[in-house]
Amino acid sequence: MPDNLRDAFLWAVALAIGFPLVSVSLTEIALRLQRGGLPLAAPVRSVRDLILPPLAALVLLIKVVGWNLAATPVRLVETVFWLFVVNASLSFLNAILFVGAKQGTWQAKMPRLFVDMARGVIVLFCLAIVVSTVWGQDLGKLVAALGVGSLVIGLALQEPVGNFFSGIMLMMERPLGIGDWVKVGDNLGTVVESNWRSTHLRTRDNDLVVVPNSVLAKGIFTNYTGTSPLHNESVMLNFSCDDAPNKVKVVLLDVARRTTGVLTSPAPKVRLAAFADSSIQYEVKLPTNEFARLKDIAEEFRTLVWYAARREGLTMPYPIHTHLVVQQSTDAAEEPPLPPDALKAFPHLGLSAEAPGNVSGGPLRRYARGEQVVREGQRLNGLHMIVKGRVVLTTRDGRGNEVEVTRLERGEFFGEKSILASAPSDATVTALEDLELLVLESESVHALIEQTPFFSQQISGVMEARRKALQKTHIEGNGS
């Protein structure tokens, strides 16, 4: 017991009051920092949870119980206290310098492995000082003692040490960084962490793949986005030998340009890759800087190719071992040109009874959901009548923003301006769902207008209504 019981009592009272008070204060500070989104909340909690308890224990043992500093329990508590002080100090330093660092600063560019290495060296140095000061040990003798067992320790830690030095090599060479898309063996993912032992990849399926640094240092891996976000995705497609290669190339290039995520500069490329047994193989290069959406981009491109091939009369043959069987069913299922009475599907246009017998449309043209039928400023060949699906008409206002003009459904039409006024489209038409269109050529439309007065009135009314809607859109855009 201490010599002065009064002092011991006062220290006990101060400890009983001060410890809870300081703990509550640190808790409140940490909560305020957390609400503000500041990175110092975690270091403050570490002070409350790790430093405050051993400090209170030291005060209790020395000032209240009366033990001296040489007592083994006091030394143990003091050692733990100083180690926690070092850890909390490094946490504060990390929160101030590296957590939330802006992109492009030296803190953001600093590899995580280097930070971990520096932290480990500082902890070992401080531990040596604590052992020398608190326990009175000679550091020279301690180093000599560690040297005796270094060989055994080195053999036991051969693999971790190999990963450690491999991590240093990767840090110095920097072949990959956080956010890069990397393929190691069969694993493809984005780098989410790189530490002293391993590199962590997050795959497209949201699985975490841990790759030892030694595997990366000794093996071969592919970094798709390390030096540049630009990537050229190769898509292979087969078309019939009866389809003219130049026509196929034009169609594929047009589809590639209209695919979301495909860049226009550098432009997509198409080349004839090979002559197969029953088809011609084409390779399409899709340039993109959205590697994370690569599967979605390729899927959208293939989908649009199917619709474009049907519209342009191109054939995508089946594999050779099923070619003969499937070809028969394909020929049988192919849609013939629509008969003249197909126009009766639009009775509200006055065509059901008065349509001339020499007027007919061609095969239905199909568009995928989200595909543009025509862009603003392009010309439309023929009057496009909606048999199935819906479209939206958009235009750009005075500020260049794309705004909606109207929506059209089954039984309505567009492209009348190109037919009657020989003018390009003043709106972009986009399919809201899978779309089927009956396209009437200019000659057929003029014949219907001459022989069906009500049809002529309908077209004139639609043209005037859309002209007013477009004018209103442009005025509102200029005034906003």
Write the CA distances from 170 to 160, 175, 220, 297, integer angstroms: 15, 7, 13, 32
Q: What is the mean pLDDT of residues 43-66?
A: 90
Q: According to the model, what pLDDT value does residue 447 have?
A: 80
Residue 332 has pLDDT above 60, yes or no: no
What percent of the chain has pLDDT above 70?
Answer: 79
348: number of Cβ within 10 Å: 10
Tens digit of pLDDT for each residue in 217-268? 788 889 998 878 899 999 999 999 999 999 999 999 999 999 999 999 999 9
pLDDT range class, residue 330, cuts 50, 70, 90: very low
279: number of Cβ within 10 Å: 22
Q: What is the mean pLDDT of residues 79-96?
A: 89
Q: According to the model, what pLDDT value does residue 387 have?
A: 86
Q: According to the model, what pLDDT value does residue 461 have?
A: 84
Q: What is the mean pLDDT of residues 86-104?
A: 82
Q: According to the model, what pLDDT value does residue 216 have?
A: 83
Burial of 59: CB neighbours in 10 Å, binned 0-12, 13-18, 19+: middle
- For residue 469, the Cα-to-chain-centroid distance in whole angstroms is 37
Q: DSSP of 397-436, one letter per residue?
A: -TTS-EEEEEEE-TT-EE-HHHHHS----SSEEEESS-EE
The mean-pLDDT minimum among 28-37, 85-94, 158-167, 287-296 falls in 158-167
pLDDT range class, residue 87, cuts 50, 70, 90: confident
Task: Measure CA of the first residue to CA of the last residue in the chain; give whole Å.
Answer: 83
Residue 286 has pLDDT above 90, yes or no: yes
Burial of 356: CB neighbours in 10 Å, binned 0-12, 13-18, 19+: middle
Tens digit of pLDDT for each residue in 392-418? 999 887 777 888 889 999 888 898 887
Per DSSP, the three-state class of 380 is: coil
Contact 41, 34 (CB under 8 A): yes
Q: According to the model, what pLDDT value does residue 182 have?
A: 93
d(CA 226, CA 303): 30
Task: Say if pTM beats, i.e. exceeds, 0.75.
Answer: no
Write the CA distances from 102 to 94, 97, 98, 107, 114, integer angstroms: 14, 10, 9, 8, 18
Residue 151 has pLDDT above 70, yes or no: no
Bridge partner residues of 437 (DSSP): 365, 386
pLDDT range class, residue 208, cuts 50, 70, 90: very high
DSSP-based helix, strand, coil % in the chain, nearest 5: 50, 20, 30
User: What are residue 439's phi and psi, to 5 degrees?
Assistant: -105, 120
